[in-house]
């Protein structure tokens, strides 16, 4: 294809990059400088886009993820070459797993040094092919505007995800008075957005004769901002709704039709509804192994309808009779324009699910006065924040307790690492969310293990006036690892219980951040209220029961109805 050049004033590659970011309405950049990106950072000196200097590249990428997860906009990251770029790989892979839009600029050695083991060279194209939607390496300064425009388009359309732009140092320095045409022309990338009408008819026909339908609502509902349409659809046909972990917030938790989160640590009502329906409508969930522990037993008598923006997900785990490749909001909008003249009687199914929900809620020993229960901490904070906070979690037991006991009320509210399960994610991701919405309450629930992986980002809370409430549920161990060792490895607690830990209060205070340690279960409620009333950032360490388990639990490989720990 012949490249069409456009005249422009003479600019460096770094200046063209900043112009392109402004054209994409980028609000914030997360990054960490180094030799290969110094020309770009020199241009940032006069740039009007705020830059957040994190204390580690992994923190930068997770913060950008947090920003992207709550805003729906692409997070933007700049890191240097070699170790700077490889430190970003975990966050990029995390974003890929959870379909989070990001554009990550990785510095690279100058073009003549590529492939010659130059100082701080790493093959970022080879390293990121499996964990990105697409990646680029700039080889001509004139291509920079076009590459960036395409990168944002790819990252934010279809099934969203991260795009890496590898930027050799000389491409930032080089100047030009011409740029290549930046019109987007990607014939091989045309995501299907609108659903097939015949498939919608099949779904409505199946719904008309179904007496036991259930909806599984995943992250796709939140990504497409289709919560209002989902509520209308479920209410019109009185269909019970189950959420995935990342789908939490897409359906009101206080609604009679809501059965809770399904899967390994899901509710009894949710998992039983997924076991014996005659019609399962999956809106935007990928049927991952935490939801479908035993594919042969999962909804084995149901007609499965799967609506997903990514055709690769449909039929990957379960045989799908009604596949619909489309955007969730577009699909629900069209389904709501259709009508069913006669419906099968769903009265018994409704009563059965409501009975299960009433008899088997998530529970724990609420009468304990000897130790703080982590579930109680989460419930109280849910009350303090009225279920409206943006909630970030790390990964482990506390993540599941938050999913079970925090009263999520709106989309884009939960910020958690679902697919990759990344420890260290929660705290920096909460920083990104708080920067996106400075006036909103943001709570980071972290474990004592995960917090120690990225707690250096405490340094930036005061620098950027980040009013974040961080809650450490400290049980002195890698809680979920310890739980699995207790249940499946004969209580052989191999390297999962910490012999020593830092003083988290002193650690926080060393960074100039107020901190408190809560140990008294009798004053827990008033202590938490006082902590949340603090006007600035605060770290709240809650010393909780060390032996508490996340229940119910489906043992690995077992079917959803084979839950343990159901009362």
Closest CA to 235 of 212, 258, 209: 258
Catalytic residue among 11, 30, 44, 57: 57
- For the packed helices 57-71 and 426-436, what is the interaxial angle rounded to 10 degrees? 50
Task: Determine the Cα–Cα distance for residues 207 and 223; give it in Å rounded to an integer.
Answer: 25
Phi, psi values for residue 94, rounded to 5°: -60, -45
- Catalytic site includes residue 178: no
- Catalytic site includes residue 204: no
Tokens of 69: 């997860």
Per DSSP, 46 falls in state T
Task: Determine the Cα–Cα distance for residues 440 and 183; give it in Å rounded to an integer.
Answer: 37
- Catalytic site includes residue 142: no
Is the CB of residue 442 less than 8 Å from the CB of residue 381?
A: no
Element (H, E) at 156: helix 144-156
Tokens of 84: 């700077």
Instruction: Name every residue whose Cβ is closer than 8 Å to that of residue 408 and which is 6 or more positions away in sequence.
Output: 248, 249, 253, 387, 391, 414
- Catalytic site includes residue 291: no
Task: Determine the Cα–Cα distance for residues 567 and 556; give it in Å rounded to an integer.
Answer: 20
Catalytic residue among 169, 212, 357, 376: 169
Per DSSP, 3 falls in state P
Q: Give the alpha-carbon dihedral of 271, 275, 279, 285, to 10 degrees.
A: 50
Is the CB of residue 475 less than 8 Å from the CB of residue 519?
A: no
Residue 329, CA distances (Å) to 26, 229, 305, 323 in order: 25, 7, 16, 16
Closest CA to 283 of 246, 235, 237: 246
Element (H, E) at 77: strand 75-79
Catalytic residue among 171, 291, 480, 553: 480
Query: In sequence order, what are the beta bridge partners of 105?
Result: 78, 165
Catalytic residue among 120, 160, 397, 434: 120
Query: In sequence order, what are the beta bridge partners of 517?
Result: 541
Q: Which residues are catalytic?
A: 57, 119-120, 169, 480
């Amino acid at each position: 294809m012949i490249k069409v050049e456009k005249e422009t004033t003479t600019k460096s590659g770094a200046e063209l990059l900043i112009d392109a970011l402004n054209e994409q309405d980028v609000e914030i950049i997360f990054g960490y400088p180094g030799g290969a990106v110094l020309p770009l950072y020199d241009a940032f000196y006069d740039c009007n886009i705020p830059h957040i200097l994190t204390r580690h590249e992994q923190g930068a990428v997770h913060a950008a993820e947090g920003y992207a997860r709550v805003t729906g906009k692409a997070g933007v990251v700049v890191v240097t070459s070699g170790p700077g770029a490889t430190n970003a790989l975990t966050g990029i892979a995390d974003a890929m797993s959870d379909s989070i839009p990001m554009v990550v600029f990785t510095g690279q050695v100058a073009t003549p040094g590529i492939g010659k083991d130059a100082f701080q060279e790493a093959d970022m194209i080879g390293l990121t092919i499996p964990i990105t939607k697409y990646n680029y390496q700039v080889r001509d300064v004139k291509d920079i505007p076009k590459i960036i425009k395409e990168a944002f388009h790819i990252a934010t359309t279809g099934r969203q995800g991260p795009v890496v732009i590898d930027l050799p140092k000389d491409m930032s320095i080089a100047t030009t008075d011409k740029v290549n045409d930046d019109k987007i022309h990607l014939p091989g990338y045309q995501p299907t957005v609108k659903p097939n009408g015949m498939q919608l008819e099949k779904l409505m026909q199946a719904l008309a004769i179904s007496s036991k339908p259930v909806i599984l609502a995943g992250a796709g509902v939140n990504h497409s901002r289709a919560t209002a349409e989902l509520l209308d659809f479920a209410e019109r046909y009185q269909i019970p709704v189950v959420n995935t972990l990342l789908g939490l917030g897409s359906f009101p938790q206080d609604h009679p039709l809501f059965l809770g989160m399904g899967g390994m640590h899901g509710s009894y009502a949710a998992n039983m509804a997924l076991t014996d329906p005659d019609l399962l409508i999956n809106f935007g969930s990928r049927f991952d192994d935490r939801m479908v522990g035993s594919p042969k037993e999962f909804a084995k008598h149901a007609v499965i309808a799967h609506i997903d923006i990514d055709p690769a997900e449909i039929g990957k785990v379960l045989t799908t009779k009604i596949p619909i490749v489309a955007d969730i909001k577009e699909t629900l909008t069209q389904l709501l324009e259709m009508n069913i003249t006669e419906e099968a009687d769903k009265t018994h199914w409704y009563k059965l699910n409501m009975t299960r929900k009433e008899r088997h809620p998530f529970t724990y020993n609420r009468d304990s006065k000897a130790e703080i229960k982590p579930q109680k901490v989460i419930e109280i904070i849910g009350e303090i924040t009225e279920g409206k906070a943006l909630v970030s979690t790390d990964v482990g037991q506390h993540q599941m307790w938050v999913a079970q006991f925090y009263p999520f009320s709106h989309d884009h509210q939960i910020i958690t690492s679902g697919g990759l399960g990344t420890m260290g994610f929660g705290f920096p991701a909460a920083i990104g969310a708080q920067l996106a919405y400075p006036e909103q309450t943001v709570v980071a629930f972290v474990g004592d293990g995960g917090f120690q992986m990225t707690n250096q980002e405490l340094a930036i809370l005061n620098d950027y006036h980040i009013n974040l409430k961080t809650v450490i549920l400290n049980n002195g161990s890698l809680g979920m690892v310890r739980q699995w060792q207790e249940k499946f490895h004969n209580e052989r607690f191999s390297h999962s219980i910490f012999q020593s830990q830092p003083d988290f209060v002193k650690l926080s205070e060393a960074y100039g951040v107020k901190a408190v340690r809560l140990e008294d279960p009798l004053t827990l409620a008033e202590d938490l209220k006082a902590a949340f009333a603090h006007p600035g950032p605060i770290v709240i360490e809650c010393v909780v029961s060390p032996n508490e388990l996340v229940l119910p639990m489906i043992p690995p490989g077992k079917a959803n109805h084979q839950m343990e720990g159901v009362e």
